[in-house]
Amino acid sequence: MPDHLSTFPFIYLASQSPRRQELLKQIGVQFELLLPSQEEDAESLESVLPNEASLDYVQRVTRLKVEAAKKRMDHRHLPFTPILCADTTVAISLGSTVKGSHKAHEQILGKPQDDENARQILQLLSGKTHQVHTAVAVLTKKDDQELVRLLVSTSNVTFKALSSSDISAYIASQEHLGKAGAYGIQGLAACFVENIQGSFSGIMGLPLFETAQLLQESDVQFGLNSI
């Protein structure tokens, strides 16, 4: 039995990602979707600021998603329950362009704009190790005060050297569409991965260890807590 009765039997999931929905179901979370209306420009939240570090970026975007979802809940006059938002970004370290400096900088790789952009991204990842950051946040209440709890999962993923035919075949599968870094590790791109250090679910888009921590701290009933 849990130490105390969980306050919230379900959450709002402010994400269109089927992978995040599958992962929440895996740990027994009951949720309702809280998706943007046609009037909302959800993609605009994901713009990168000049010289923004990938860790700063993924946390900032996740907090913006929480703010937008909270406004959505209020506008629709929905009953309060915790809101979960997440964002995943892929980043790769590159040699500095500053003459005489060996300090690495990074490039944030978002969702590909088209097939050619996806090809460029996959060529950049080929034979190298990149980072996958997923931030997950829960808006909840404590003592009648709203607060946002946020955690970040970072994983290192190493790709084999990709041939032109590897990349062409993957793009033809259309699995790259709508995915940060132009790939989804749970699909055909698993054949490209030599090594992972970190969270497989985090690379998919929702780190379950961190998510469970946030839900427990937010008094949400799920999984083992509901037994």
**pLDDT (tens digit per residue) in 199-221:** 999 999 999 999 999 999 999 99
The domain in which residue 84 lies consists of 11-226
Using one digit for the tens of pLDDT, what is the confidence trace for 94-146?
Answer: 864 444 434 458 999 999 999 999 999 999 999 999 999 999 999 999 888 99
Q: Would residue 2 count as lying in a domain?
A: no
In this structure, the number of other CB atoms found within 10 A of the CB of residue 10 comes to 14
- The pLDDT, as a whole number, for residue 226 is 67
- The pLDDT, as a whole number, for residue 1 is 36
CB 205 within 8 A of CB 21: no
What average pLDDT is seen over the chain? 92
83 or 144, greater pLDDT = 83
Catalytic, 87? Answer: yes
Number of domains in the chain: 1
Q: Average pLDDT of 58-82?
A: 97
Q: Would residue 3 count as lying in a domain?
A: no
Helix pair 115-125, 164-173: axis angle to 10 deg: 130
75: pLDDT strictly greater than 60? yes
- The pLDDT, as a whole number, for residue 95 is 64
CATH code, domain carrying 142? 3.90.950.10
Using one digit for the tens of pLDDT, what is the confidence trace for 11-28?
Answer: 999 999 999 999 999 999
Q: Would residue 48 count as lying in a domain?
A: yes
- The pLDDT, as a whole number, for residue 41 is 81
Q: Would residue 5 count as lying in a domain?
A: no
Q: Would residue 135 count as lying in a domain?
A: yes
Token representation of residue 200: 């497989």
Distance CA 217, CA 142 (A): 10
CA distances from 6 to 10, 76, 125, 208, 220 (A): 10, 25, 43, 19, 5
Q: HSE (CB half, 13 Å, CA atoms) of 120? A: 10
Q: Would residue 6 count as lying in a domain?
A: no
Q: Would residue 83 count as lying in a domain?
A: yes
- The pLDDT, as a whole number, for residue 220 is 96
Catalytic: which of 56, 74, 87, 144? 87
What proportion of the chain, given as a percentage, has pLDDT over 90?
A: 82
- The pLDDT, as a whole number, for residue 104 is 54
Q: Would residue 185 count as lying in a domain?
A: yes
The pTM (predicted TM-score) of the whole model is 0.90
